[in-house]
Structure formats: structure tokens, C-alpha cells
């Protein structure tokens, strides 16, 4: 039998969700069966699968140690070179500026050198994260950027901050996210773009539509022009919704594609910028985050704004 004491990074979640993270290789059906048969108890009592864990609760697992170890997936910390820049850090959050050509999470093409693994390596090296002492919690990114988009990413360093940040991200008014981009064409003033996107899984692209169709997701983008000439415009973009490829698709549908965007951009213009400036990816940088509203242990961030410098390759 193994007994697990619930601490601050585990409290406030359903027991079945905690167990699925702790015994990640076990199926949910197996865990539910063990709860029903009283092979899993909380405080020596049978509980329902939706029981909310409190700090200092004790979970009893009436399995052999071999069975428990078989179901636990060990978290590996890689010793990685740090490619990101630290913009802000405290005990609860870390805000970094990631370079382009770096995945946030692993995929089929890269399982080791990702932003998440670089951050875990950094936090582990300074003693802020130890997978051996944590039961289920792993520091996590709460906003996404495409592989070839550079800029600011927020990381939660504890479970309470992760819960609050995720709730803040769901509320469109709490966290404002701003981007800098260069687009083809002359545009002026300020404008709002609205519509829908549909995922094309086969080609790993999204398609823009003005009307809601089956599977479509609403997108809402604001932009204001910083400077323009007869050929190109430097633009600040603010995301209202946060869909994958949203800015790139929305500006392309507006006949003002982002320079360097190989999926939604203008091929001839991209080739010219590659030849002249060695720009191989989209000119899109998440440069500013503003906390308009905050929750719980993050109230001290309310009204604060954080900026990241434009990468040197984009300053050209």
C-alpha cells in the first residue's frame, strides 16, 4: 500500500484527474474500477470519482509497489541550452521571450529541445522545480505561439497560478496580447476583423470564412498601423480570440499577408525578403502582454505590462 499526502500543488482538483496524472499509464476505466472496489481510498474512506481533494488529504493506494511503479511515467529533465530570454520572473510565474523555430511542446519532429523542456531544465537547475518531490504538477505554458512565431510566453510555476492563469486566459478582458508584424500592402488607421476559421487537417492549414459553418471557430482580431508606405505596413495586432494561425490567416484574408509567411503569405514577396534580409519565417513577434484583470494569488500583477524586444533578425 502507498499513501499520498496532498499538498498545495495538488489540492483543488478531482481525485480521478489527480490519479490520471499520478498514474498516467493506467486507464481511466481501471482507476474508476479501483475506486469502486475500494482499492483506492481518501482518508481511509471510499469516495466518488469527482471528490475534490483538499490539502493534507491522504490517498491510499492498495496496490503492490510494482503495480504502482508500472503505472507511473518518470519525468525526464534534459540538460538543454537556454534559447529563451527571461522578461519577468517571480515565485508564481515566468514570462519568457522565445525565438522563432522553437516548438513550445513536443511533436513528431522534435521531442527533446522544446521551450517547455528548456524551461524545466532552467527551473530545475535553480532549484525551483524537482520532479522527484512533485507528485503530478509540472510547470506549464498557458499561451501558445506557432513554432516560427517569436515572442512572449507565460509559464505557471505552481498549480494555483496555473489554475488562475488558465481562467484569466479564458476571460478575454483579463490578459491582452499584442504582436508586431509587417504586412504586404498599404493599410491605415485602426480596424477590427471578425470571421470564422475552419481547420484543414489534411494540409495542416486553416481556412477563413465570413459565415459560421460546421466545425468553424469564431475569430476576432484588432490592429492599428504604426507606419506604412505604398508597399508595406508595420502593424500592431491585438488578439481578442486566440486560435491557432489566427493572425496569419486573418491578415491574409484581408489581402495584407504577413511578410515571410510560407503558408498564408505571398510567395514572390517572401522570396524577395529571403534574398535581401535572410527572412525565412513570418515577421510576427508577440511583443507585449498586459494584465487588465487578475485572480487569486496573482492579484499583484493587475495593471502590469511586460514587453519583449524585437529579435535582431527582425530589426533589419
Write out pLDDT tens, residues 188-209. 899 999 999 998 877 777 889 9
List C-alpha distances in Å: 105 to 113, 136, 219, 239, 296: 9, 18, 23, 21, 27
Q: CB 25: neighbour CB atoms within 10 A?
A: 11
Its sign, for the CA torsion 264, 209, 105, 111, is: negative
On the question of pLDDT at 70 being above 90, the answer is yes
| Residue 297 placed within a domain | no
CATH of the domain at 191: 3.30.2350.10
Burial of 291 (0-12, 13-18, 19+ CB in 10 A): buried
Cell matching residue 248: 496569419
- Domain of residue 103, residue span: 85-171
| Residue 12 placed within a domain | yes
| Residue 293 placed within a domain | no
On the question of pLDDT at 316 being above 70, the answer is no
Q: CB 208: neighbour CB atoms within 10 A?
A: 19
* Final residue belonging to a domain, choices 71, 98, 129: 71
List C-alpha distances in Å: 173 to 5, 168, 244, 290, 294: 37, 8, 19, 10, 10
Catalytic residue (choose from 16, 100, 146, 261):
146
* Final residue belonging to a domain, choices 171, 188, 215: 171
Say yes or no: 65 and 91 in one domain: no
* Final residue belonging to a domain, choices 12, 46, 71: 71
Angstrom distance (rounded) from CA 183 to CA 263: 14
Say yes or no: 209 and 257 in one domain: yes
The total number of structural domains in the chain stands at 3
Which residues are paired to 26 by β-bridges? none
| Residue 244 placed within a domain | yes
Residue 146 falls in the annotated catalytic set: yes
Say yes or no: 132 and 230 in one domain: no
| Residue 27 placed within a domain | yes
pTM over cut 0.85: yes
Per residue in 238-289, pLDDT (tens digit) is: 999 988 889 999 999 999 999 999 999 999 999 999 999 899 999 999 999 9
Backbone φ and ψ of 286, nearest 5°: -80, 100
Amino acid at each position: 500500500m502507498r499513501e499520498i499526502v496532498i499538498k498545495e500543488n495538488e489540492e483543488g482538483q478531482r481525485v480521478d484527474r489527480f490519479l490520471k496524472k499520478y498514474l498516467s499509464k493506467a486507464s481511466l476505466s481501471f482507476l474508476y474500477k479501483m475506486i469502486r472496489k475500494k482499492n483506492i481510498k481518501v482518508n481511509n474512506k471510499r469516495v466518488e470519482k469527482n471528490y475534490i481533494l483538499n490539502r493534507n488529504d491522504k490517498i491510499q493506494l492498495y496496490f503492490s509497489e510494482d503495480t504502482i511503479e508500472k503505472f507511473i511515467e518518470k519525468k525526464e529533465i534534459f540538460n538543454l541550452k537556454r534559447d529563451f530570454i527571461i522578461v519577468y520572473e517571480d515565485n508564481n510565474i515566468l514570462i519568457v521571450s522565445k525565438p522563432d523555430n522553437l516548438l513550445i511542446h513536443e511533436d513528431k519532429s522534435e521531442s527533446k529541445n522544446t521551450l517547455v523542456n528548456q524551461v524545466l531544465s532552467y527551473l530545475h537547475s535553480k532549484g525551483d522545480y524537482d520532479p522527484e518531490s512533485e507528485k503530478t504538477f509540472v510547470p506549464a505554458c498557458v499561451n501558445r505561439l506557432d513554432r516560427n512565431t517569436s515572442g512572449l510566453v507565460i509559464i505557471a510555476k505552481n498549480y494555483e497560478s496555473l489554475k488562475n492563469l488558465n481562467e484569466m486566459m479564458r476571460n478575454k478582458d483579463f490578459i491582452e496580447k499584442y504582436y508586431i508584424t509587417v504586412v504586404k500592402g498599404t493599410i491605415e488607421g485602426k480596424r477590427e476583423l471578425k470571421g470564422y476559421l475552419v481547420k484543414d487537417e489534411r494540409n495542416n492549414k486553416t481556412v477563413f470564412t465570413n459565415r459560421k459553418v460546421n466545425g468553424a471557430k469564431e475569430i476576432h482580431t484588432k490592429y492599428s498601423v504604426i507606419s506604412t508606405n505604398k508597399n508595406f505596413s508595420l502593424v500592431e495586432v491585438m488578439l481578442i480570440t486566440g486560435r491557432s494561425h489566427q493572425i496569419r490567416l486573418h491578415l491574409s484574408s484581408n489581402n495584407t499577408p504577413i511578410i515571410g509567411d510560407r503558408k498564408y503569405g505571398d510567395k514572390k514577396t517572401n522570396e524577395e525578403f529571403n534574398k535581401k534580409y535572410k527572412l525565412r519565417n513570418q515577421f510576427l513577434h508577440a511583443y507585449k502582454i498586459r494584465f487588465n484583470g487578475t485572480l487569486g494569488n496573482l492579484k499583484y500583477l493587475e495593471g502590469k505590462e511586460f514587453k519583449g524586444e524585437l529579435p535582431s533578425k527582425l530589426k533589419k
